[in-house]
Amino acid sequence: MTNRLTKILGSSAMALSLMAGTALAETELRMTWYNDGNEGEVMRGILDRFEEANPDITVTLDVVPYKAILESLPVQLAAGDGPDIARVTDLGGLSEYYMDLTPHVGDPEYWRANFGPFLKWLDPDGDAISGFMTQLTVTGPYVNKTLFEQAGVEMPGEGATWDDWAAASKAVADALDIPIPMAWDRSGHRVSGPAISMGAQMFDAEGNPALVDDGLKMMATKLYDWHQDGTMAKELWGSVSGSTYLGANEDFANAQVVMYMSGSWQIPQFAETIGDAFDWWAVPAPCGPAACTGMPGGAALVAMKDTDHPEEVGQLMDFLAQEENLAEFYGETLFIPGHLGLAESGVEFATDDPRAAHALQTFASAVPGISPVAFDLQGYPSNRVMFNALISRLGEAIVGELTLDEAFDRMSQDVEQQLAEQSR
């Protein structure tokens, strides 16, 4: 009996040590990821191919809510407990945690040639290669074209202003008893493009952040008025506090919204959730006195400097950034490419939905018209300080806790105080 037990224990110990040996030979990389649509599935497929080609490396895709990318990831990174790779949207704000991949990628020149302008977003003060854009985005509105047709209201054309669109959306909503004529994502980033169209400069002559000026006041006042007259529903902007992000994508998909200000990243989701239930139509950014611009932006896949496996991270990032892999990724996810070569040669998007194709075309053609102020703001590492001050204080004004003038004063104070804290 004892002899048998000894044999079992001995063989188990041997098996365990063999397994441990195998485990030790394997490198596990963790990639923190969020999804707007199907990109997680597409990325997993590409990662599977990488693992097949590199059996000693496994990549775990940790899919988290977008809120966790904004709120939890920075704390993890500050504590030195972050992932090896992450998909982020606060491109410059987290740059202190990025790894320079230059020594770890096969051909740094390929990276500079194809991702050049966006590398600066990731490293505003240097020329490091930290990652690549999983998507370029442009903010802009969608409309429910079917509702316009049913209401017999003509859609405003090229060069229409925000006031034109607000009035038309209200007319449609009133005619068809739609609860929300116009909805905007509760996000400072979304407001900034229209504010720049109204003439907001965002920075002073020395390049220091100067959030509140006449242009911003003009746009903020319109938003405030639209909430008071029922063009926009208070449910979105007025129902939460602080800088909490809320989107109206579900309301739009349920045909509860006539016009929805969001951005190009919604295309794959709308193609899937709305499909041909109604004609959802992307329209060019409405105009103000200064411009007709949206905000550029996007998400990037970046390598983190606290990784224990820089070589393997470099190997993986190099694999993912190759043209054929990115062509597949952008094509399957319906994302605007952040790879200059692919942007030039064109990506074959995996959709036969005319609405998605039209939206992709609309947003892609909006890129040349984006205001330089919008590019500067997107490249500013502390832009979220400005976005958050704008959204939280405007929200408080909309629900009546502050007057608009008090809200403008508080916006400036918030930005000043937070930047002072940051510079300590």
When the beta carbons of 40 and 238 are compared against other proteins, the nearer one is 238
When the beta carbons of 144 and 333 are compared against other proteins, the nearer one is 144
When the beta carbons of 297 and 337 are compared against other proteins, the nearer one is 297
When the beta carbons of 240 and 340 are compared against other proteins, the nearer one is 240
When the beta carbons of 344 and 421 are compared against other proteins, the nearer one is 421
* Minimal distance, residue 35 CB to other proteins, in Å: 21
* Minimal distance, residue 414 CB to other proteins, in Å: 9
Which residues lie closer than 8 Å to 208 by C-beta, 6 or more apart? none
Report the distance separating Cα 201 and Cα 377, nearest Å: 9
Q: For 11, what's the count of Cα atoms within 13 Å in the CB-facing half-sphere?
A: 5
Q: Both tokens of residue 330?
A: 């952008």
Count of beta carbons in the 10 Å neighbourhood of residue 228: 12
Classify burial at 88, counting beta carbons within 10 Å of its beta carbon; exposed 0-12, middle 13-18, buried 19 or more.
Answer: buried
Q: Both tokens of residue 107?
A: 């051909």
* Minimal distance, residue 32 CB to other proteins, in Å: 17
Report the distance separating Cα 267 and Cα 115, nearest Å: 23
* Minimal distance, residue 321 CB to other proteins, in Å: 27
When the beta carbons of 318 and 416 are compared against other proteins, the nearer one is 416
Report the distance separating Cα 172 and Cα 177, nearest Å: 8
* Minimal distance, residue 424 CB to other proteins, in Å: 4
* Contacting positions for other proteins (CB under 8 A): 70-72, 74-75, 78-79, 90, 93, 179, 233-235, 238-244, 382, 384-385, 388, 395-396, 398-402, 406, 410, 413, 418-419, 421-422, 424
* Minimal distance, residue 319 CB to other proteins, in Å: 32
Report the distance separating Cα 333 and Cα 349, nearest Å: 8
Cα 196 from chain centroid (whole Å) = 19
Phi, psi of 283 (to 5 degrees): -120, 155
When the beta carbons of 232 and 334 are compared against other proteins, the nearer one is 232
* Minimal distance, residue 19 CB to other proteins, in Å: 28
Report the distance separating Cα 394 and Cα 387, nearest Å: 11
